[in-house]
Each structure stands twice: as structure tokens, then as C-alpha cells.
Amino acid sequence: MSGDEDQKERDVHDDDDDANCSEDAIQELVKRIQLLKALQEEESDLWSEHAGMQSELSKPENRISPGNESNCHIVDIDQSLIDSSNKLNSAKKELAAKLRVILSLKRQIDEVPAQTELIQYERRFSELYAQIQERHRQTRKQYATYNALMEIKELMLKEISLLNSIDSQFQDAMTSVAGRSKLVDSMDIIVKGTQQKLEKVQLNLLAEQKICDNMKEKHAIAIAEQRQFSSLLKAFQEECARNERLRRLTSM
């Protein structure tokens, strides 16, 4: 029982670790998104400045020679645009990698059942086990009843056959002394056989009674264990609820 509780506690800690990792990854993702927006804004400003410079240079009065200082400035702007584009592409790739990691973590977290789901699964399995046990008990009872009725039927058929045999031989046996003696001997044999059958049935009854007593003892032990399990389960659920409240308070 304590092993199951330790396992459940480790599962809860694992869920907490996964949740913390997911929160850290989400915070990192927010930072990356903000950086990406800043790079996009910087790129937009540079492109706007570049477009303005190109528009100015396209005017006849503002055309310059290749060695002019403004031309060097345009080259610097172009290089800045290239660098910004490279940074933006790198940030996009890194952001995509972070997104894949976060999605993988989310899938892993979703695959792990929550504590309430585990409790529901345990309750459903307990109910299913109880139903199976009840059906098994009813089936065994029906088989036992059927076997007992079949045995009673066989005994009744034997008794009817014996009575018919005695009735058919009684009239003939009464006509002579030898016949009466033979009938008495036959009745003695029947009585001895019946006595042996009775002793055998009594032995079977004692064996069944002993089995019944053992089953009653096992049932009493099982009831005590079930009560202990119920109390431990209730305490565990209370501790889980308390732990959940503490987590909510600490996360505020």
C-alpha cells in the first residue's frame, strides 16, 4: 500500500516538474516573440529609410557620383539591412525550434493523466472488479445448485428403482421361507449401502462446512483490509487536495 502511495507521490512531483518546464519554456517563448517583433520593427524602419534614400537619389538634382559620401551611407544602410535580415531569419529559426520544443512538452504533459483522472480510473476499476466478483459468485452458486439438484435427482431415481424392485419381489418372497430369507438379506445389503452412502455424504458435508468457515474468515479479513484501504484512500485524497491548495497559493 505504501509503495502505491510513493508511486503516486512521484507521479505528482513529475507532473509539477513538467508544468514548471512548460512555464519556463513559455516565458522564453514570450521573450523570443518580443525580440522578433523588435527586429521586425527595426527592419521596417531600415527599409523605410532605404526607400526614402532611393527616392531622393532618383531625383535628377540629387544624383551623386559613386565616390560621394551619401553613396557610402547607402551602402552602410544596405549592409545594415542584410545584417538585420540575417538576424531576423536566425531569430525565426530559433523561435520555430522553441515552438517545436514547447509543443513536444505540451504533448507529453497532455499524455500524463492528472491526479483526478487517476482517482477516477482507480474508482472505475474497483467498481468493475466488484461487478466481476459478484458475477463470479453468482455463477458458482448456480453451478453448485445445479450439481446438488442433479445429485438429488439421481438419488431419487435410485430410490424409486429400489422401491419398485422391492414391490415386485415382495409377493414372491412371501410365498416361501427361502424367499423371505432372501428378501431379508437383500434388505440388509440395501441398508448397509444406504448407511455407507450417508456416511460419505456426511463427510462431504463436513468438508464443505470447513471450506465455508475458511471462506468466512477470508471474507472477514478482506472486509478489514477494504476498510483500511478506504481510510487510506480518503487520507490520500485529502492530502492531494491540500497539496493542490498550497500550489495555488504559492503560484499567486
The residue among 117 and 47 whose pLDDT is bigger is: 117
pLDDT at 31 over 90: no
pLDDT at 52 over 70: no
Whether residue 154 is found in the same domain as residue 171 = yes
Please count the helices (runs of H) and the strands (runs of E) in the chain.
Answer: 4, 0
pLDDT at 88 over 70: yes
Whether residue 129 is found in the same domain as residue 225 = yes
**Where do we find the cell 472477514?**
220
Whether residue 146 is found in the same domain as residue 226 = yes
Where among 112, 137, 154 does a domain terminate? 112
Average pLDDT over residues 25-49: 71
Range of the domain at 107: 1-112
Whether residue 80 is found in the same domain as residue 4 = yes
d(CA 58, CA 153): 118
The pLDDT tens digits for 133-143 are 999 999 999 99
Whether residue 161 is found in the same domain as residue 120 = yes
Whether residue 76 is found in the same domain as residue 185 = no
* pLDDT at res. 17: 55
Domain count of the fold of the chain: 2
CA 61, 67, 68, 70 torsion: positive or negative? positive
pLDDT at 117 over 70: yes
Where among 112, 133, 163 does a domain terminate? 112
Where is average pLDDT lowest: 3-7, 32-36, 120-124? 3-7
The residue among 60 and 130 whose pLDDT is bigger is: 130
Whether residue 57 is found in the same domain as residue 90 = yes
Average pLDDT over residues 174-181: 76
**Where do we find the cell 512548460?**
22
* pLDDT at res. 67: 47
Whether residue 123 is found in the same domain as residue 245 = yes
Where among 66, 95, 112 does a domain terminate? 112
CA angle 155, 158, 163 (to 5 degrees): 125
- Report helix angle 2-58 to 69-111, nearest 10: 160
**Where do we find the cell 487517476?**
118
Whether residue 102 is found in the same domain as residue 66 = yes
Whether residue 103 is found in the same domain as residue 25 = yes
d(CA 199, CA 190): 14
Whether residue 108 is found in the same domain as residue 137 = no
Most confident of 15-29, 67-81, 82-96: 82-96
Whether residue 66 is found in the same domain as residue 124 = no
d(CA 50, CA 60): 18
The pLDDT confidence band at residue 158, using thresholds 50, 70 and 90, is: confident
Separation in Å, CA 112 to CA 16, 17, 102, 109, 211? 11, 12, 16, 5, 45
* pLDDT at res. 62: 46
pLDDT at 218 over 90: yes
